[in-house]
């Protein structure tokens, strides 16, 4: 760049590398985990066993996020969102029902972090297009990202851990969790309508439907849609989730290599999430061996039955909001025997639904807040925290009660 007076080029300062706060957290956790192993706080055989266990999970996480990002680039979510708005025919109530179904399905099929990262900007943009209140659509995304993540192992990383621990394949897992999932979805739907959608609906309950979004490349759009369906079908057929997501993602990557190679870039790989999970596992296992396991055992108690299940789910809610849902589940899992299926799944219910009470309790909620801030959308925080706490409490109770009927 030359100066205005035509002199020699002005000196430029090298750009500073600025880490996002979540990047810094991920790197810090990875370093802390390495220190735990290097100092002997976590014996190396234990660390190796832990890393061996989570390698398939990391493969799934890495590939499914790339799959979701490419599906978004192909226009899958934009097309579906616009078609929902058209299908609602201008009815606010119908739009509410369709958005709940859309977000819940995405969470079940592609996991809660995909919903938080990719559907949040889509629904925020949809609200702007429809010239309606933004908050109801935004809260729908984050609430269902958490509460719709019970049905399948792929819906949440904690589900994958639980299914592996108690030895349930995806169909067997779904047979146990379908009723808890329906119960918490019912609670979520009622509270969403009462606290957000009814309060912020247009004056006459109507909006002007938009035109259907047309993908730039119909071939990529159809390939991306097929890739998502392939992931679901392969998972339900019993194919290991890491292999299923890797194959589906590989097919979509190949399609982009042929038709849109410029879209493929290193930033698509969610290194932050992978480093965060690996470091977190090592750190939590270390802390567990030095006192956390004893605390969690005391909180969960020794008893089974109705009281034992309620206590396990309550322990999940409390610990998730003190730290985060993933370390809370890991710590609870370490003190509950693998044969105690009912209490392990009750703990899972608490760590999946309970984190809604506070923003830092779930990575999905943190990612959602980041997307809202990037879009310059302000959510009324007091109202959000109070209503989310109500959902965390009522949703956990409903899902735990339903779990008692299926286990």
Q: Which residues contact 382 (CB under 8 A, 6 or more apart)?
A: none
Tens of pLDDT, residue by residue over 157-171, are 899 889 988 888 889
The residue among 231, 223, 177 whose CA lies nearest residue 65 is 231
Least confident of 72-81, 313-322, 398-407: 72-81
Residue 14: predicted pLDDT? 44
The pLDDT value given to residue 175: 93
Residue 6 pLDDT class (50, 70, 90 cuts): very low
Predicted confidence at residue 328, as pLDDT, reads: 86
User: Which region among 9-23, 59-73, 344-358 has the lowest average model confidence (pLDDT)?
Assistant: 9-23
The DSSP H or E segment spanning 34 is helix 21-38
Does residue 96 or residue 24 have the better pLDDT?
96
Of 50-54, 76-80, 243-247, highest mean pLDDT:
243-247
Query: How far, in Å, are 312, 345, 400, 405 from residue 303 at the CA level?
Result: 10, 15, 16, 18
Q: What predicted TM-score, i.e. pTM, was given to this entire model? A: 0.78
Q: Count of CB atoms within 10 A of residue 21's CB?
A: 9
pLDDT digits (tens, 9 = 90+) for 216-264: 899 999 999 999 888 888 877 878 878 888 999 999 999 999 999 999 9
For 351-405, give the secondary structure using H, E and C: HHHHHHHCHHHCHHHHHHHHHHHHCCCCCCHHHHHHHHHHHHHHHHHHHHHHHHH
């Amino acid at each position: 760049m030359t100066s205005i007076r035509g002199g020699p080029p002005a000196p430029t300062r090298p750009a500073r590398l600025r880490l996002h706060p979540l990047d810094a957290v991920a790197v810090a956790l990875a370093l802390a985990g390495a220190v735990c192993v290097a100092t002997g706080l976590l014996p190396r055989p234990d660390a190796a066993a832990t890393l061996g266990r989570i390698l398939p999970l990391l493969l799934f996480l890495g590939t499914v996020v790339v799959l979701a990002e490419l599906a978004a680039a192909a226009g899958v979510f934009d097309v579906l969102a616009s078609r929902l708005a058209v299908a609602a025919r201008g009815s606010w109530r119908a739009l509410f029902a369709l958005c709940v179904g859309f977000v819940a399905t995405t969470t079940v099929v592609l996991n809660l972090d995909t919903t938080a990262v990719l559907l949040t900007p889509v629904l925020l943009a949809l609200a702007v297009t429809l010239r309606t209140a933004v908050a109801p659509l935004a809260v729908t995304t984050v609430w269902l990202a958490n509460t719709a993540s019970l049905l399948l192992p792929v819906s949440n990383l904690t589900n994958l851990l639980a299914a592996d621990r108690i030895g349930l394949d995806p169909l067997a897992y779904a047979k146990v969790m379908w009723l808890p999932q329906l119960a918490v979805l019912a609670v979520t739907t009622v509270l969403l309508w009462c606290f957000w959608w009814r309060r912020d609906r247009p004056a006459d309950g109507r909006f002007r439907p938009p035109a259907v979004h047309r993908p730039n490349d119909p071939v990529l759009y159809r390939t991306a849609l097929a890739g998502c369906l392939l992931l679901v079908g392969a998972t339900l057929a019993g194919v290991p989730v890491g292999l299923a997501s890797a194959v589906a993602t590989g097919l979509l990557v190949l399609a982009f290599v042929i038709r849109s190679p410029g879209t493929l870039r290193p930033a698509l790989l969610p290194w932050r999430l992978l480093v965060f999970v690996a470091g977190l596992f090592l750190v939590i296992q270390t802390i567990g061996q030095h006192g956390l396991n004893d605390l969690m055992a005391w909180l969960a108690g020794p008893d089974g039955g109705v009281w034992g299940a309620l206590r396990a789910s309550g322990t999940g809610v409390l610990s998730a909001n003190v730290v985060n849902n993933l370390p809370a589940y890991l710590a609870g899992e370490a003190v509950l025997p693998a044969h105690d299926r009912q209490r392990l799944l009750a703990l899972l219910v608490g760590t999946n639904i309970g984190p809604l009470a506070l923003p830092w309790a779930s990575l999905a909620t943190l990612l959602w807040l980041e997307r809202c801030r990037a879009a310059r959308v302000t959510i009324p925080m007091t109202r959000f925290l109070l209503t989310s706490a109500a959902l965390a409490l009522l949703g956990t109770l409903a899902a735990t009660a339903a779990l008692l009927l299926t286990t």
